[in-house]
Chains A and B, each alone.
Chain A
Amino acid sequence: MSPTLDDTRTGTEADQRLLTSPDTPWVTLVWDDPVNLMTYVTHVFETYFGFGRAEAKRLMMRVHTEGRAVVATGNREEMERHVEAMHDYGLWATLAKQDEA
């Protein structure tokens, strides 16, 4: 979220963490699952994330062969929205900090 005017303080009150520890990006991971059809997972990647067919298939194959794939990167709130959407479709998805995924 963007800071509001109220959050924008001056001087020593400013949040030091903004300078010393920039936000680590988060990722959305989709995990391999013995039930979900490969064609369905590809369909979800195409329709929800808007990937082209080739990219959607590549990511689906990565899930299938490597057990998981990163399908999105961004801030935590965005990744939580993606994970909820994946659960809506019945895909097995989680989110994690990029450096801990």
Chain B
Amino acid sequence: MPFVRPRGGDEIRVRLDADERGLLTDLVGQLVSLLENGDEGDPALARLLPAAYRDDAEAAAEFRRFTADDLTRRKLENGRAVLAVLGEPGSTLDRAAQQSWLRTLNDLRLTLGERLGVTGDGVPAGDDKQLQAMGHVFDWLGYLQEALLRSLPKA
């Protein structure tokens, strides 16, 4: 169980081993770089900051102009909050950190899902070893997110 909430409490203990912490630190670091320096045409970035209007490019561009910086800043704050916990083994997640973790795990899955071409049928099969490894990471992130959702305290 990667996340454990002691009975009756609000805080959640993170139980990841050193390898898992290392992998997650690496992935969140990549997400932070993407948000900081990503190419605007990158489909993964487009998925993290999607168009708010489907059939009105002008309104979508205006919405983006007014919201993209704040959205990006909040996503970066979430990612850095996750990195802070990962850098201190044994620390716990309060309610704010729980939300940062949920959203960052989701942003990681969106980014990786875009890279892998995930569809409604899941991760595409293939012989490419690197893609297979990324597929396993994608599934693991889903397992982590699901486990965190199950361990959340009642609202």
Contacts and interface: CB of A to CB of B under 8 A. Distances in A.
A34 B119 contact: yes
Contacts of A96: 53-55
Contacts of A47: 155
Interface residues of B, number: 33
A78 B120 CA distance: 31
A73 interface: no
Counting contact residues on chain A (CB < 8 A from B), the size range is 20 to 34
B135 interface: no
B155 A46 contact: yes
A40 B48 contact: no
Interface stretch (A4-12, A16-24, A87-95): A87-95
Interface string B96-126: 0000001100110110010000111010000
B52 interface: yes
B23 interface: no
B71 A95 contact: no
Q: Which of A35, A46, A95 has the most CB of B within 10 A?
A: A35
A2 interface: no
A90 B113 CA distance: 12
26 contacts: A34-B119, A35-B110, A35-B113, A39-B146, A39-B149, A40-B102, A43-B102, A43-B149, A46-B155, A80-B52, A84-B67, A84-B71, A87-B50, A88-B71, A88-B74, A88-B103, A89-B103, A90-B106, A90-B107, A90-B110, A93-B52, A94-B50, A94-B51, A95-B52, A95-B53, A100-B55
